[in-house]
């Protein structure tokens, strides 16, 4: 997910991917059973989050 990303805040190319889990997961509205972790690509230099991606979007269909 972090391939060839450049931070729009500081210009750094040093990025990593982390994840939101548990209470940081994305839940389907009005259905607490259907949820998915969210991956975040962020800049190692300044901490700016470049993008977020739902890991299992099929759970929301």
Position 2 pLDDT exceeds 60: no
Domain residue extents for the chain: 15-56
User: What are the strands of the beta sheet with 15-20, ordered from one edge?
Assistant: 15-20, 38-43, 49-54
pLDDT tens digits, residue range 6-48?
999 999 999 999 998 777 777 777 766 778 889 999 999 999 9
User: Where are the extended beta strands (E) located within 1-61?
Assistant: 15-20, 26-28, 31-36, 38-43, 49-54
Q: How many residues does the chain have?
A: 61
Q: Which two tokens mark 20?
A: 């939101």
């Amino acid at each position: 997910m972090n391939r060839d990303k450049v931070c729009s805040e500081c210009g750094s190319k040093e990025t990593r991917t982390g994840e939101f889990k548990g209470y940081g997961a994305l839940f389907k509205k009005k259905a607490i059973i259907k949820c998915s972790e969210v991956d975040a690509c962020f800049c190692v230099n300044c901490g700016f989050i470049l993008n977020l991606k739902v890991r299992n979007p099929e759970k929301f269909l």
